[in-house]
Structures are given as C-alpha cells and as structure tokens.
Structure 1
Amino acid sequence: MTGETHGGAKHPTLTLVACILASSLAFIDGSVTNVALPAIGKDLGATPAELQWTINAYLLPLSALLLFGGAAGDHFGRRKLLIGGIALFTFASVLCAIASDLTLLLGARALQGVGAAILLPNSLATLGHAFTGEARGKAIGTWAAAGAIAGAVGPPLGGWLVDAIGWRSIFFVNVPVAAIAILIAWRHVEESVAKEIPLDWPGALTATLSLGALTWGLTIWSSHGAADSPSIVALVAGGLLALIFVGIERHRGDRAMMPLALFGSRAFAGLTVLTFLLYGALGGVLLLLPYVLIEASGYTALQAGLALLPLPLGMAIASRITGGLTSRLGPQWPLTIGSLIVAAGFALLILVEEQGSYWTMVLPGASLIAVGMSCVAAPLTTAVLATVDDRHSGTASGFNSAIARTGGLIATAIAGAVIASAGAALIAAFHAAALVGAALAALSGAAAFLTLGTVKPPPR
C-alpha cells in the first residue's frame, strides 16, 4: 500500500482487523446485555433499580476512564494498552458468566467497563496513526461499519443464547473474538506513542467520583419516582466534583487528560454537544425498546433481538460510504441531516403498543434511525480526529467516546422510571421517552449545523 493509504504502518489491513475485533467486544457486549436484562432479573431476583445497575456498572467506569485510557495509550504505547485492555475485558467476561449472585455480576461488569475504557480509545487512536488522508476516513468508516455489524449480530445471537442456553452464555461469546484480536495485535500492529503527554491521576479520580455520584443520584431519583435526600445529596456532590475536575484540568493545562485547549476549536465543542445529546438519546431508547417488547408485548429474547436488526444492519451498509464522503464534503451536512432523521425515527417509536404488528409499530422507526445513524457514525469519528493533532488523537477519541457513553449512562440512570412501570403504564412511559429522545436528537442536529463550518485543530 502507498503513502496515500496508510501512515507508515507495515500491515495496515491487519491493523484495521485487530482494531475492529477489539472494539467489537464492547459493541457486542452492550447490545447483548440489553436483550438479556429480563432474564438476568428473573434469575438473580433483581429489582428494576438493580437491573439498571447491570448496565450502569459497565458504563460508569467506561465513561469515566475512557479519557484516561486514551491518555495512557498516548503515554505508554497504544498497541500495549490495546492488548492489555482486550485481556482485561475477556477476563471480566468470564467472571460475568460464572457470577453466582448480583453483587459478583456487578463487580465483573465494572471490570469489563475498565477493560473497554482501555481498548476502545486505543483501537481508534491506532487507526488514526496507521492511516492518513482519505484512507483514514475510509478505514474509520469500515471500523464503524464493522461495529454496526457486531451490534447487528449481538441482539439476535444474544436472544437465541438466552432462550436456548441461558443468559450466562452471552459473556462467553467474547472469548474467541478476544483471542484472535490479541494474536493479530501482538504479531502485526506497530507501536505508536507520544511520551511527552503525562498521565493525569487527579483528573481520572475526580471524573470517576463525579460520574459515580451523578449516576447514583439519578438512578435513585428515577427508581423512586421523586427526589429524596440521598439522591439530592449525590447529585450535588457529583456537580461539585465535576467543577473540581474542570478546575484540575484547567490548572494542568496541556498536561491534563482532557486539555481544555481542545475546546479552542469551535468544531470540537460542537461535536461534543452533538455526541452527548445524540448518543444519550440512542442509548436510552435502545435500552428500553427490547425491554418493553419483552415485558409488555410478549416477545421472546430472540424476537426482541431480531426486532433491532434493521438498525445496525443499515448502519453497516452505509457507514463506510459516509466515512469516505466526509473526507471530501466535510461533516456539517451529514451530521446535521443524519441527526434530524434519527429524531424522526425516535418519534415514530410512539407506534409501539402492547399488541400490534412488528412491521407497523417497530420497523418504521428502527429503519429511520438506521438511516440517520449511518450518516452520523463514521463522519463524527473522522471529524473528531480532524480537530486535534496526532499526539492528542488518543485523548480526543477517548474523550468523544467518553461523552457518548456518559450520555448513555445518564439516560440509563433516568430510564428507571420507565423500567419500574408495567403494562399500559410501561407503554406510555416508553412513548414519553421516545419523544424526549427525538427532541435531543433534533438539538444535536442544530449543534452540528451551527458549529461545523470549518473543521480544523485548535491553535497550539
């Protein structure tokens, strides 16, 4: 391959394969677990609030440590951290599969989140180093498409495993994928490092505590249906810790794991807002949809998994195309139009009822969401990497992924009000959640339109 296709990597294709397999671990796990929630709740006797923590125990360390995972890769070496993250994620997956009670499951899920926080930003930063120019956009588009395929395989595969074998089997799916990813990364991925970037331990600790307090407070609030003293105290503490985190990052300047100078780029700030709103809405609605279909509409886990199939398949078909187009056209219009299409898809989910045909109550909304997200996924990632220099690529990709997972984390924490409902009340609560998701997606489109004129790194 020539210099137009990669940035000096000897094995760019194998590098791409290793990064796809690594990130697919996190994508498969997220989609599979959503389908398995009702079965986990029945087997372990979990309440609705505890079921929320099955998701949040994973998302919390993933959201809080993605920044640190990206910065650690920039400092110690992205290949080294990529392999270590895969190994930790796999070990935690086995612990999830053999967990004998909910406490052990939540602990293993948290360890999975730590592994994912290490492997995700370093898989993307490794791609950013191995490819340049238009080839980078195509590679990232392929990476996003493969992630969508993994998401497509996850729900039906997970649903079949839950129905045929049991929910524990879904965590063993990660083991063979991880083994192949480690082997390829060990033998063919080249090391890349930017050692002048120091690690930010105070920032990582403060971010983790802040997100933990905010998530705890929102989960208690939504599950109880009202704000009480513990939830208010947790939310106030989380807010104060967030302010302290910003103060720490400002004091550390370019040594921070989230350098505030990155926000000198208007485009980077706009991409951050878009990511938080859009992926928060997506995470919340896609957590609730299979749960509602199983609990209120009588779907099996396999049927609920198949119901989500149009979304990731549609993304997989178009993401590679849109990744290449963004390199030539810029990200403003794909991200704006895509977000508005997603908003329309969310709004159509109000057609979901206790009784009805899948083809009329689920497929229209899922299809529109698929079309919209195919316009967003690859262009968003490409645009984020275009706003920073190479030495901050791991930090920037980690930050953007952290924002996406933080949006999903907060949405999951709030979703307890829906999960705690039953019957007609569950359907009504889901309709309200779908409309809120539509509004957030529309706002993300406005953010893209207003901020993404010219995408370039901020001045140093």
Structure 2
Amino acid sequence: MSNNTATQYQGNDKLLLGIVLGVITFWLFAQTTLNIAPTMSAELGIEATWMNIAVSITALFSGIFIVVMGGLGDRIGRVKVTLLGVILNAVGSLLIVLSPADTVTFLMAGRIIQGLSAACIMPSTLALLKAYYDGVARQRAVSFWSIGSWGGSGLCSLFGGYMASNFGWRYIFWISIAISIVSFLLIYGTPESKVEDDGKKKGFDWSGLITFMIALVSLNVVVGQGSKLGWTNPLIMGLAGVFAVAFAAFYKIENSKDNAFVNFKIFNNKTYSGATLSNFLLNGAAGTLLVSLSLVQHASGMSAFEAGMLTIGYLVAILATIRVGEKLLQRWGARKPMIIGCSITATGILLLSMSFLYEWQYIIAAVIGYTLFGIGLGFYATPSTDAALSNVPEDQVGAAAGIYKMASSLGAAFGVAISAALYTGLMHVSNVPMAWLFVGRADNVAIRYAAAIALLFNVFMTLVAIVSIMSTVPKHKAEK
C-alpha cells in the first residue's frame, strides 16, 4: 500500500495498542537500566564506567540507525520494519537475560540490538500514525504513542526498581520478550504502507552511514571514558580528532548526494528544525534520572525500588498531562505548550539538583521535582511531535520522523553519557567548592556536589530548548 492509497485503510485501536506496546519495549523495558544500573553492575561484576556505556549505547545505536530504518520503512514498508524491530527487541532482551558475570559481551550485544530495535520501531510507527490516522484522530493516536514513550520512561524507574528488588533484574527482560510477542501479533496483518515507487533505483548511502557511525561512536567513547582516562590522554584526544574529521566528512557527503540518508534540506523548515532541536535537548535531560536515582542510592543507601518510588509523581504527572498537552495544542498551537512544558521541566530538574539539603528535605524536593519533570514533558510531548510531523511533505515523512526520533535517541544517549561523566568524574574530588553549603552528613559531600553539577547541566539544556522554540516555532496556530 502506498501513501497515495493509505487513506483506504483507517487505523484502529488494535493497531494503536500494538504500536504502543512496541514503543514501550524501548522506553519502558530498555530504559530501566537508568535505575537498575548499580544493581546490574554489582551482580555482573562490571565497572561503573562500562555500565554507563551499556546504559547509553542503546540510545546511541538507535540514533545512528533510526534515520536509515525510517527511510527503509518508506521503501519496503513501515509494517515490515516495525515487526522487524519487535523481533530484534526480543533477541536483544534474551541476550541480556543470559548475560554471565565478569564479562560485558552478552550485555553489550543485547543493548546494541535493543538500539537497532528502537531504530526500526520509532520512525516506522510514527509514519504509520501519519498514514492511517487523520486530524483529531491522529492527535489522539500521537498522544497514546507519547504515553508509550514518555509514559514508559516515567514508569521505567519505578518498575525497574520494583522488579530488581523483588524478583531480580533479569525478569524485566523476560517480560519485555512477552510484550514483544503480543505487539507482533497485534500489528501482524496490518495493510502495508510505503512511499510510491518512482521506478528510479537509488543506491544506499553507505559512505554517509559509515562516517556518521565513526563520528558518533568516537564522540560517545570520548564523553564516556574521558573522565576516567583523562581528557588529555592520547586516546581521548585522538578520538576527539576522529570525531571532528568524520563529522566534517559526513556533512560534506550528505550535501553532495541525492540519496543521502540525512537530508539536511529538511531543516530548511524552521518549525521542523525547532521541534527537532528542542526534542534533542529535552531528551538529553534523561541524564536527570540516571544521576538523581544514583545519588539517592549512593549517598543515602536507598534500594533501587526505594529510589524508584520517588519518581511515582513523574509517572502519574506525565500520564495525566500528555492528553492535556494534546488539548493545549488544539487550542493554542504548538509553540506555547512547548515553552510551558520546557519551563516546568527545568524547574523540576532544578529542585532535583538541590543535593545540599538534609536528606529528608531532599526527598521532598525530589518528589516535587520529579512531578514537575513529568508535567513539563507531558505538556511538551504531543505538541512537539505534531509540529514536526505536520510540517513535512508526505513523501518525506518516514525520513523526517526518523530524524526527529534520531534527535530523541541521540539526545538521550549523549545526555546520559555527559551527565554520567560529570557525576562519576566529580564524585571523588577532594576539595569540594562551597562545601559549607552542604548540610547534614559530611562523608558524602563529594557525591552530592557531583550530582548537583551534573543535574544543573540538564537544567541548562532545557533552557537552551526554550530559546530554540522561541526562535523557530511560529506563534500562530498552524492550519490543519
């Protein structure tokens, strides 16, 4: 079925449920590592720096391949690519379940495959929403898709902590396999959707993909290992140089090819560019969860479940406000709810950065902060996604959705990596600046200081997101 005939099939709740379940295989199950990383690291005997890479590498590989898979879905069919992603998640989850101690091989392989799974599922499901739902029905479908992604990220800390503390973290990925099977069965049989074949054979942009991979993997290692090896270490400096050269080559290649897998011309649309950039920055705030949850486990001795319980307001808020964001979009357009959402998110993260408080005071601040974090993301999610998808031509929707979701994945990958690097790199400093500000216990001041700096970095990203929205997204309500 081509885009020209896609309207002959109208999406239904069965398809929407299958899509949402497919989406949460990443945002709920794969993202539980943000909370259970200390538990997994201890049981498997893996150093914290390697575990940080395992946490971020899924989003990194999702970001690397998400545009490729979005374009592939346009060409061979979005349903096929979605089902492939669901299968890959089951395979990746199984490898994680089978991970033995004292080696990172199974864990890393499983996390990379989960990243490839997300690369298949995210753009293809968004393109299916664009093809099979219209007007208010599409906004409703996007809201439920957002509940699966943003809501899944809200539940992952609580769910992961509960499972790890009561049943063992491996059961998380057994359940992920079961959800994948259900998602496959619900989506299977859906009429295919793809771009009409124009009869022109286009080779794959291998040179662009390879230079893109080299650039991003190099940068990820620099960010993840720089604090451990030293920023002036020859390896780190060499990889930084590799990133600069590879990215420059990638940009040149993509601007000289008709079949470039990242079409930079899409960014000529200011609204799309603003939605995508702010999406990158706000997803980068995922580092907030890793740092804040690690803080209360390292500094206060909380279990993963106890730490996850602090995020219950985040879960409730994001699930309650995503549909509110949809209504605000219909009333005001995208710009205002996106700005309000980012502002509330920044306020929530700022409260989480107040690690200088007494423990009981910080717990109160954290509960309020997580709740505000969830409200802000809920207001932002649907307006941002709709602004991106509604402002691109029909024949570019798969690639555009892929780039938009690439921004999500790469934002999360580098946000987590940079936040983790700041946190682990500063937690052993001997002379903490303004140590007098930290009340209560004196034996964990360095850890609390490191967390504060890492969390303030996340506040900064949300503020930059607000500036990008104000500069690019129009004030008027877009015509449907």
Coarse TM-score class (shorter-chain normalised):
over 0.9
Contact 1:277 1:444 in 2 (8 A): yes
The equivalent of 1:243 in structure 2 is: 248
What is the alpha-carbon root mean square deviation over aligned residues?
Answer: 2.1
Tell me how far apart the structure 1 counterparts of residues 332 and 187 of structure 2 sit (CA, whole Å).
Answer: 33
Q: 2:453 aligns with which of 432, 436, 443?
A: 432
> 1:296–1:354: 8 Å Cα contact kept in structure 2?
no
The alpha-carbon distance between structure 1 residues 63 and 127, as it changes in their structure 2 partners (threshold 3 A), is same
2:214 maps to 209
* Aligned counterparts of 2:414 and 2:476: Cα–Cα separation in 1: 28
Deviations 1:292-330 (A, max 9, x none): 111111111111122122213211111123224324422
Tell me the distance in 1 between the aligned counterparts of 2:294 and 2:59. 18
Residue in structure 1 matching 2:309, options 273, 295, 306:
306
Q: For 1:130 and 1:419, how far apart are their aligned partners in 2?
A: 46
Structure 2 counterparts to residues 30-429 of structure 1, below 5 A: 30-100=30-100, 101-187=103-189, 189-194=190-195, 195-196=197-198, 198=202, 199-224=204-229, 226-253=231-258, 255-280=259-284, 282-352=285-355, 355-357=359-361, 359-414=363-418, 415-419=420-424, 421=427, 423-429=444-450
Q: Tell me, in whole angstroms, the C-alpha distance in 2 between the residues paired with 1:371 and 1:56.
A: 24
Matched residue type, 1:221 = G
1-structure distance, mates of 2:232, 2:314: 35
Question: In the TM superposition, what is the alpha-carbon distance from 1:8 to its structure 2 partner?
Answer: 3.6
Give, in whole Å, the separation in 1 of the partners of 2:31 and 2:455.
18
Structure 1 residues 73 and 251, CA, compared in 2 at 3 Å: closer, same or farther? Answer: same
Out of 195-204 and 207-216, give the one that drifted further.
195-204
1:260, 1:117 → 2: CA distance?
19
Residue pairs, 1:2-41, within 5 angstroms: 7-41=7-41
1:355 positional shift: 2.4
Instruction: Give the conservation status (yes or no) of the 8 Å contact 1:225–1:417.
Output: no
Tell me the distance in 2 between the aligned counterparts of 1:226 and 1:259. 33
CA shift, 1:256, in A, is 1.8
Matched AA of 1:110: I
1:148 Cα deviation after fit? 3.6
TM-fit CA distance, 1:357: 4.8
Runs of 4+ aligned structure 1 residues displaced above 6 Å come to 454-457
Greater shift, 317-326 or 373-382, is seen at 317-326
Distance 1:358 1:428, change over 3 A: closer
- Matches of 1:156 and 1:339, distance apart in 2: 23
Q: Residue 474 of structure 2 corresponds to which residue in structure 1?
A: 453
Q: Which secondary structure does the structure 2 equivalent of 1:191 belong to?
A: coil
The one-character-per-residue Cα deviations of 1:151-191 (angstroms, maximum 9, x if unpaired) are 3433222212211232222211211111111011113x221
Whole-Å separation in 2 of the counterparts to 1:456 and 1:219: 41
What are the Cα deviations for residues 121-167 of structure 1, in whole angstroms up to 9, with x where unaligned?
Answer: 11111111111123212210121123344334332222122112322
Distance (Å, rounded) in 2 between the aligned partners of 1:219 and 1:153: 26
Seq. identity, %: 24
Determine if contact 2:231/2:237 at 8 Å carries over to the other structure.
no
Q: Residues 129, 41 of structure 1: CA spacing in aligned structure 2 closer, same or farther, 3 A cutoff?
A: same
Contact 2:422/2:453, CA 8 A, preserved across alignment:
no
Paired residues in the alignment total 449
Shift of 1:455: 8.7
Structure 1 range deviating more: 90-99 or 325-334: 325-334
Which residue in the other structure is 2:441 paired with? Answer: none
Alpha-carbon distance in structure 1 between the residues aligned to 2:164 and 2:332: 44
Specify the code of the residue in structure 2 equivalent to 1:211.
Answer: L
Q: Please list the CA deviations of residues 387-427 of structure 1 after superposition, one character each: whole Å capped at 9, or x if unmatched.
A: 21122112111111111221222222222231352632111
Distance 1:61 1:38, change over 3 A: same
Partner AA of 2:458 in structure 1? G
Matched with 1:3 is none
The corresponding residue for 2:434 is none
AA at the equivalent of 2:52:
Q
TM-score, length basis structure 2: 0.89
AA matched with 1:431: A
| Cα-to-partner distance string for 1:192-242 (whole Å, 9 max, x where unaligned) | 001459443332222222110110111121334533221111112112211
Distance change >3 Å, CA 138–CA 32, structure 1 → 2: same
Structure showing the higher helix proportion among its residues: 1
2:435 aligns with none
SS of equivalent to 1:46: coil
User: What is the alpha-carbon distance in structure 1 between the residues aligned to residue 7 and residue 363 of structure 2?
Assistant: 46
* CA deviation after TM superposition for structure 1 residue 354, in Å: 6.9
> Could you tell me whether the CA contact under 8 Å between 2:318 and 2:375 is conserved in 1?
yes
Structure 2: state its 5+ residue gaps: 1-5, 429-443
